[in-house]
Amino acid sequence: MKRFVARHQPRLSCACWLKAGLGATLGMGLVGWLGQASGVPFLIAPFGASCVLLFAVPGSPLAQPANVIGGHVLATALALALRAVLPPDWWAISLAVGLVIGAMVALRLTHPPAGADPVVVFLADPGWTFLLAPVLAGAVALVAVAALYHRLPPRTAFPMLQKTDALERAGPNP
């Protein structure tokens, strides 16, 4: 039972958790402002969950730019294609979520919040322009805010270096 209630994340300083909350506020604020300025609703629930990863655990592989942007775009594109041929019934939403997760894992673009994109697509039936705005534009905006924001103290390495990048920077083995 202890394994189920144990906290697996390290304890962070007050500055870190305040920074995470403020970063999420700024990220969602930019996305909301873009929506208001363009007249296209940009705020979708999965972006709130993306902010948790981008600002609270930016070192997670699931929070990296390719995963955030690629996961949302892949999930939405696949959901839109499925919605074109399937009804907005519970079983079709379930099938779409499963196929999206399988595709994200297969392409190594796993981003858990993007697993909710098919639910949004099937319930709202937004059309293909939804892929560009809010999904692509919103995901890019969130990643851009995170990349800039994590340069502020306390600094966070975002995006993370891949192991191959780190090895290349280290140079040849002696």
- Over residues 114-129, the pLDDT tens digits come to 999 999 999 999 999 9
Domain contains 166 = no
Non-local CB neighbours of 20 within 8 Å, separated by 6+ positions: 55, 56
| Length, in residues, of the chain | 174
Residue 5 lies in a domain: no
Residue 144 lies in a domain: yes
For position 7, what pLDDT does the model report?
81
Distance CA 71, CA 63 (A): 10
Q: Which residues contact 103 (CB under 8 A, 6 or more apart)?
A: 74, 75, 78
Q: Are 121 and 79 in contact (CB under 8 A)?
A: yes
Domain carrying residue 66: 15-157
Total structural domains in the chain?
1
Q: What is the pLDDT of residue 70?
A: 98
167 in a domain, yes or no? no
Q: Which residues of the chain have pLDDT under 70?
A: 163-174
Residue 2 lies in a domain: no
* E strand or H helix that includes residue 113: none
For residue 101, is it within any domain?
yes
Query: Distance between terminal CA atoms of the chain?
Result: 48
What is the pLDDT at residue 12? 75
Read off the pTM: 0.89
Average pLDDT across the chain, whole number: 92
- C-alpha–C-alpha distance, residues 56 and 21, integer Å: 8
- Nearest to 29, CA basis, from 142, 120, 150, 151: 142
Domain assignment present for residue 84? The answer is yes
Return d(Cα 132, Cα 76) in angstroms, integer: 10
In a domain, 10, yes or no: no
pLDDT of residue 173: 45
Q: How far apart are CA 29 and CA 26, in angstroms?
A: 5
